[in-house]
Amino acid sequence: MGALTDYFRAVDAASVVEVLKRADGGSPLAGALPAFDGVETKHVDPTVVLAMLIAAIRQVEWRTDLVEEVTVWPTSPVPGPDGPGAEDDPWVTGPWVSELSPLARDTLAAVRDFEVATIVAKWVQAEELHGARAEDMQPVAEELVLLARRAREAGEQLYCWMCL
């Protein structure tokens, strides 16, 4: 089982939460008329795989804090020290949505078109992308870069919707 990850841009977390409430937590990119401009991906979680792309762009080692994120969904309180509640607890079942830091957005947006192939060649060497081919991942990276540019130009933030 893998994670579905959709990246999208929005003005703020409140608008994201409103859309998610109407969609019962479903992807804001689903359907014939997506609620937001975004990119559908698989297995590109923000903390590890996207952060590895950011590391390749910045030419630094991967760290857990390369992509800072703030959870905006679920909106219920975070489980206490005894852990999550019942199996239907949204913190257990998802989906989860996080707002990515402006630094992550701006790092992606700053990539020049001619740099993408070189960056992707380094990105696919990550253990977590074992078996991924550069020619398959390059369109994903290109779409993320273009999405980040549109978000930055519009003064919007990047968000990641994820479910298992």
pLDDT of residue 53: 97
In which residue are the tokens 């937590």 written?
25
pLDDT of residue 83: 57
pLDDT of residue 86: 60
Q: Is 9 exposed, middle or buried (0-12, 13-18, 19+ CB in 10 A)?
A: buried
pLDDT of residue 139: 97
Q: Going along the chain, which residue ranges are E strands?
A: 4-10, 38-42, 69-73, 96-100, 157-163
Domains of the chain: 4-76+89-163 (3.40.1760)
State pLDDT tens for residues 27-77.
999 888 899 999 999 889 999 999 999 999 999 999 989 999 999 998 877
Q: How confident is the model at residue 140 (pLDDT cuts 50, 70, 90)?
A: very high
87 DSSP assignment: T
pLDDT of residue 85: 59
State pLDDT tens for residues 70-122.
999 988 776 655 555 566 677 777 799 999 999 999 999 999 999 999 999 99
